Amino acid sequence: MPDEVIGRLVVAVNDHDLEALVALFDPDYDSRQPAHPARAFVGRSQVRANWEAMFAGIPDLRAELLRSAQHGDTTWCEWVWSGTRADEQPFEVRGVTSPGDRRSALDACPCRGHADRIRQPQRRGIPRERAGLMNPTAELTTDLTTEKIACAFSSHRFEVALPHLADDVVWTLVGSDPLIGLKAVRKATERTAKDLAGVTTEFQRQRTVVGEDSVAVDSLARYTDATGDVSIVASCDVYDFDNGRITEIVSYTVELSR
């Protein structure tokens, strides 16, 4: 999706210009939300209804585009939506969307979103630091691309990714306090490996969007513990790089079913 379309989207939301906003969406627009499958819909009419309700319910709604990147036909955007509800309660949601584009409009390619009201409940059986096991036999290399480094971390192959983290790296699991510094991040990954010994991880989907200095990894994983208990988790990890080293990670995680 061209940057120009993203810019028009931001302007339309912040101007509360419903007609301009709806015009950016293809007539066959297909919206999917991993955290709320029942809210999936197709078509502009529901786009209009949803945003009309948002503008009415949050009169001062503002959208801030934190980061975006495009790779082939896939675009990734990280957002903060904020304002004050009509009942004077504060509203703030941070999330990631992955729209497609056709004819310079948001199109029928799936638009997947992960959003969190700056609060994240503890997932049963899956520690907040992310599920997964370290593989002590994995080969370390200094010749990895930023995409491969990001995918290694998101795939829980922490021992591959850790050498490529900056000393002052910050890892934010949205809804939790950030982990600051390589030592804190390393301890979190070690704790994850210890807590999840015996858990089997199967990635059912993993795709990436690579920008100039950032990588987004969208994953869907199935976790099975020693008792056979299963969790399906959708996640989106956003990585910032400086000279080939990760300086910041922002992780959005939603448990879809159990």
Give the pairing of strands 41-42 and 30-32: antiparallel
Domain of residue 251, residue span: 146-257
Q: Can you give the pTM of this predicted structure?
A: 0.61
| Domain identity same for 112 and 15 | yes
Structural domain includes residue 124: no
Q: Which band of pLDDT confidence, cut at 50, 70 and 90, is reported for residue 19? A: very high
Structural domain includes residue 227: yes
| Domain identity same for 176 and 97 | no
CB 199 within 8 A of CB 224: yes
Count of CB atoms situated within 10 Å of the CB of 215? 26
pLDDT in tens, 159-178: 899 999 999 999 998 888 89
| Domain identity same for 75 and 157 | no
Structural domain includes residue 55: yes
% of the chain at pLDDT higher than 70: 79
Separation between Cα atoms, residue 45 and residue 162, nearest integer Å:
46
CATH number of the domain encompassing residue 251: 3.10.450.50
| Domain identity same for 16 and 100 | yes
| Domain identity same for 111 and 172 | no
Structural domain includes residue 8: yes
| Domain identity same for 201 and 241 | yes
| Domain identity same for 102 and 169 | no
Number of domains in the chain: 2
